[in-house]
Structure 1
Amino acid sequence: MSHPYPQKRPPARGHALLMVVLCLLPFVLLALVLTSAVAVPAWLVLGALALCFAVMLFVSREPPGTGVGPHASVEVVQEGRGSERGVPEDLILRTVDVIYPLAQYRLEDHYVIEGTLLMEPDAAFAELGRRFEGSALTPLLQETGEGRPRLVLAPAAALPSPVQRRGWAWLNLVLLLATLATTTWAGAAHRGVDLLAEPGRLAEGLPYALALLLILGAHELGHYVTARRHGIAVSLPYFIPIPFALGTFGAFIKMKSLAADRRQMFDVAVAGPLAGLVIAIPALLIGLQDSTVVTGPAAPGMMMGGADVGSSVLFAVLAKAALGGAVLEGHRLVLHPVAFAGGLGLLVTALNLIPVGQLDGGHLVHALLGHRMARVVGLAALGALVVLGLFVWSGLLVWALLIVLVAGTTDVPPLNDVSRVGPGRVALGAVAFAVLLLILLPVPHALYDAFGIHSPYL
């Protein structure tokens, strides 16, 4: 998952050390629970988990006093009121042959000119970039609510620099190793192995851990490599460990500078899910071949209680490809750890493709439809999650809350938010959202015979 644009200077080492301590705190509490008679309250364990999750928020949030960020610059224009001073005449003369002014005003330290572009958006943005190169102002091209082009001249100091700064990657490495430990623990626990009591069986947790980290790593490296190819400053992936359940909350990267246009925004957003699927689908197919088909209800010790093949259209297709006619009515799958990791990879991909805020899907819908329509689609998607959470599966309410807290309901526009992405990217975007539906939607009952699986959707 690509995450909100942070401050221009890296976090202090003291803050980074605090993050590591917070992340390791649940391990200490879990060890106390399992190895001693010390009674640890449930609220304390849950609180430690919340602190562990706060690692992502600490790393991504901009502290006060670091200057106006790119999102703040956009909100100033969208929500502020123009002053009577307006735009200096020299700036109007400097841009009048690029955008013919119909309205001009000043918002705090931003100058805004609304009007008609006198050349193609890409050519206009390139020309404005040349004219303001090296100046204290950075040109942003946006659209008003009525779809009219708008030039915003924002202070260059308010926007993050695209220069990729070298820094210590030790925090990324520590979080990766911690997540390897927690996912190995989780993989072993799902197979009924207590690594504290039987450390010699460590290898039984590794297939799940390595497969899941490879899928998550491929997803984030897809974002990273594409961003670097477009000249966007970006961090290495941050993995989020938790000492129980699935062993991780996933991973994310920090975008440290703005995309130049919607095409770059689209490319960075779509690269992660595609790269993750390239690993997740083969992992699921390979793992399914080593999974066990059983009859009747879930048995104790089944990973996630056994998999219901009909719970996802894509999962059903892959299960039939791997197992053929072995899955019949009333049958369930006891997933091999690699298959379980592959299934989680599909779920992670789908959740990231939900078109809300800073999620990959939010960036995609913004690149395809624009900033304002992206907010409308995002709110509609959140509303759908809430309704489904109330009437279908309550777990979706938790996901809706996490999305609001972590991804927000809006994202940061590129410097040029007027140029379109082109038909090729529109088609690829449609494929991405089709994948979202194929993963999240269960097999319709009317198609059970066609799929030949007959497993009831739970």
Structure 2
Amino acid sequence: MSTVPPADAPSPEDLTPVFEVTDVRRDGDRVLYVGYPREPPATVESELAPLFYEQGFEMHLQARGGSPSGEYAIVASERSIGIDGIPWKNVALALATILTTLYAGTVWYHIDVAANPLHALQAWPFSLAILTILGVHEFGHYITSRIHRVDASLPYFIPIPPPFGTAGAIIRMHGRMPSRKALLDIGASGPLAGIVATVVVTVIGLSLDPITVPRSIATSDAARIEFAEPLLLRGLAWLTGQPLSYADPTRQLHPVVFAGWLGMLVTFLNLLPVGQLDGGHVMRALLGRRQETVAAAIPAVLFGFAGILLLRGDVSIEAGIWIVWGVFTGVLAFFGPAVPMREEPLDRKRQAIGLVTFVVGALCFMPVPFRIVV
């Protein structure tokens, strides 16, 4: 052997059952174990990946191009789950989303910013509510990822124009999931943490006084948007004894309630059991490889649902959301879910957590999230 692997890395003897090591080399920060597989390459990776993971390394097996003897190399690199430097992209996107949600809030507060753009600051409760829901959701993923020592980025917020001001937020995970247990914990932690924040925000919004809509707007014949009421929103209104609508058209629910509504919509969409969505992670952890069968059916279900709405004739524009998500989930299903290194079934506790997570999604479901009334 020309090089001895680091003390904290697997030894060549540890690999012997599935990989015959003939040489160990350094390649910058990586360690290369050169040799010959004793099993098919896929089996070598599935057998050795957990060993390297437990000792703080990521690994992959690659054929050594140009080698007449059919040599392979196991390429091992130390895992890093820390944050290097200031995450400027995350900060910039967060600041941009603050601006776009403030601007979106001016629509719901009926604030005129034409004369003075600083008036948009009056919409801070809406912006804070949205960012809190999204932030709690993503940091649920982030913290659980750190617990399982899976490398994850800080949240990337996604700014868009009104009426929402944001398309949500994401975190990026690098490397492979160590187990179905970790996949379940990481996948479910975001929606469960986010729904707690959504409930708190919604209850606060329902307790706030309704805002006054200018009569010229309230009595206008212009098109308006009507939002659906998911079971969770109706339940919270019932528990708090607060109305979800008013007979007086100049009275409107506080925009913080709309922030809670948006949190419910994001939760449901995230829990569609396909691909890299949270629901895809949870379903993959629950069902193992059988999850792919469920995922393949989701786009067809969404397209079918859009077709039913189109046949009704009065929701043609609103059905577009399910057509878009049918295409999106079709792409996600094609690329597939995260694949854990270990396929041990979940214990009953985590099975229950997975089922509760999907119940939360069902409580947030809206057949037609909004409709445009002319």
Distance across 2 between alignment mates of 1:356 and 1:135: 29
Choose which of 121, 130, 133 in structure 2 pairs with 1:203.
121
By relative contact order (CA 8 Å, sep 6+), the higher-ranking structure is 1
- Change in Cα spacing, 1:288 to 1:161, as seen in structure 2 (3 Å) is farther
Distance verdict in 2 for CA 1:206–1:406, change over 3 Å: farther
Q: Which residue of 1 aligns with 2:303?
A: 386
1:421 partnered with 2:346: yes
Secondary structure of the residue that 1:440 maps to in structure 2? coil
- AA partner of residue 379 (structure 1): A
- Matched AA of 2:344: S
- Give the alignment partner of residue 225 of structure 2, picking from 305, 321, 326: 305
Give, in angstroms, the shift of residue 403 of structure 1: 3.6
User: Any conservation in 2 of the 1:359–1:407 contact (CA below 8 Å)?
Assistant: no
**1:437, 1:240 → 2: CA distance?**
25
Helix, strand or coil for the counterpart of 1:411? coil
Task: Check conservation: 1:187, 1:205, Cα contact below 8 A.
Answer: yes
Residue 80 of structure 2 corresponds to 163
Distance in structure 2 (CA, Å) of the matches to 1:285 and 1:407:
36
- Deviation of the 1:331 alpha carbon: 9.3
| AA matched with 1:401 | V
Tell me what 1:286 maps to. Answer: 204
Shift of 1:346: 0.9
Counterparts of 2:47 and 2:183 in 1: how far apart (Å)? 16
1:45-444 aligned at under 5 Å gives the runs 91-92=17-18, 106=40, 110-112=41-43, 129=51, 156-157=74-75, 162-167=79-84, 168-290=86-208, 292=210, 305-308=225-228, 311-324=229-242, 326=243, 334-371=252-289, 373-392=290-309, 393-405=319-331, 409-416=335-342, 418-441=343-366
TM-superposed CA distance for 1:329, in Å, is: 11
- Residues of 2 paired with 1:391 and 1:368: CA distance? 30
What TM-score do you get using the length of structure 2 for normalisation?
0.72
Query: CA–CA distance in 2 between the matches of 1:425 and 1:268?
Result: 12
Any stretches of 5+ residues in structure 1 without a counterpart?
1-88, 95-103, 115-123, 140-153, 444-455
Listed one character per residue, the Cα deviations across residues 377-425 of structure 1 (whole Å, up to 9, x for unaligned) are 1111221111111212332111222344567551120111x20111011
- Tell me the distance in 2 between the aligned counterparts of 1:232 and 1:135: 11
Deviations 1:3-35 (A, max 9, x none): xxxxxxxxxxxxxxxxxxxxxxxxxxxxxxxxx
> Do 1:307 and 1:335's aligned partners in 2 also have CA atoms closer than 8 Å?
no
Q: Deviations over 1:46-95 (max 9, x none)?
A: xxxxxxxxxxxxxxxxxxxxxxxxxxxxxxxxxxxxxxxxxxx964598x
Count of aligned pairs: 314
Q: Are the aligned partners of 1:299 and 1:305 in contact in 2 as well (CA < 8 Å)?
A: no
State the distance in 2 between where 1:161 and 1:304 align: 55
Looking at structure 1, the residues matched to 59 and 109 of structure 2 have their Cα atoms a distance apart, in angstroms, of 59
Classify 1:428/1:184 alpha carbon distance in 2 versus 1 (closer, same or farther; 3 Å). same
The 1:130–1:181 alpha-carbon spacing in structure 2 relative to 1, beyond 3 Å, is: closer
Letter in 2 for 1:391: I
**For residues 50 and 121 of structure 2, what CA distance do their matches in structure 1 show?**
58
Name the SS for the 1:245 alignment partner.
Answer: coil
What TM-score do you get using the length of structure 1 for normalisation? 0.60
Corresponding residue SS for 1:267: helix
* Matches of 1:289 and 1:206, distance apart in 2: 17
Shift of the 409–321 alpha-carbon distance from structure 1 to 2, 3 Å rule, reads farther
Instruction: Name the Cα RMSD after superposition.
Output: 3.9
